[in-house]
Amino acid sequence: MSETIIDLIRHGEPAGGRRYRGHGIDDPLTEKGWSQMWHAVGGYKSWHHIITSPLQRCQAFAYALGERHGIGVTVEPRFKEVGFGEWEGLSHDVIKIDRIDTYKAFLRDPVNCRPQGAEPLDEFVRRVGAAYDETLSRLQGRHYLIVAHAGVIRAVIAKTVHAAPSGLYRIKISNGGITRVRHTGEGGVLELLNGKLAD
């Protein structure tokens, strides 16, 4: 297998403050959010293609970046964020104060102690993994960018380093942060986490 480079960028700060946004809440980026993403990519434009989550906090930037550099963009629905069920739209402070026992259980065991109605974590990891594998196979030997969410990037990292889903929330993914995975015949290697690209 020839070398394939995958860059992933998390969307910037969304409107509405710090709250649980899965795929049920789709806030647009704030001005700061746009700035975070442009700052992270700088003048870099060496991608053959851009793939984005369908949610507007990712898709708007993906199309703007693609238009700026003449790079094609594809929407991949399976790269949407994990669903948080009844936590969707609630602030982190509300969950930590009003639902402290549920929150602590979630932190201890995010696989088995999901918010009511949330997408099962194993299913989420499988859907992201399937989309990622298909993308990798289709664009083998090329360099591409995935514009996505913290959960999606965590799932890709866990897949790359063979980590269990139970450890997903122990990986910090910053708004506008760049992650890079390089794939060769021996598999993928995590090269960059929460970085930015040089011009």
Per-residue confidence in pLDDT tens, the chain, 199 aa: 589 999 999 999 999 988 999 998 899 999 999 999 999 999 999 999 999 999 999 999 999 999 999 999 999 999 999 999 999 999 989 999 999 999 999 999 999 999 999 999 999 999 999 999 999 999 889 999 999 999 999 999 999 999 999 999 999 999 999 999 999 988 899 999 999 997 6
Domain that includes residue 160, residue range: 4-81+125-195
- Report yes or no on 105 lying in a domain: no
Do the bridges between strand 178-184 and strand 4-10 make them parallel or antiparallel, or are there none, so unpaired?
antiparallel
> CA–CA separation, 120 vs 124, rounded Å?
6
- Report yes or no on 88 lying in a domain: no
CA distances from 121 to 19, 88, 117, 161 (A): 19, 15, 12, 17
- Report yes or no on 190 lying in a domain: yes
CATH value at residue 9: 3.40.50.1240
- Report yes or no on 113 lying in a domain: no
CA distances from 128 to 29, 78, 101 (A): 23, 6, 29
- Report yes or no on 97 lying in a domain: no
Total number of domains constituting the chain: 1
- Report yes or no on 63 lying in a domain: yes
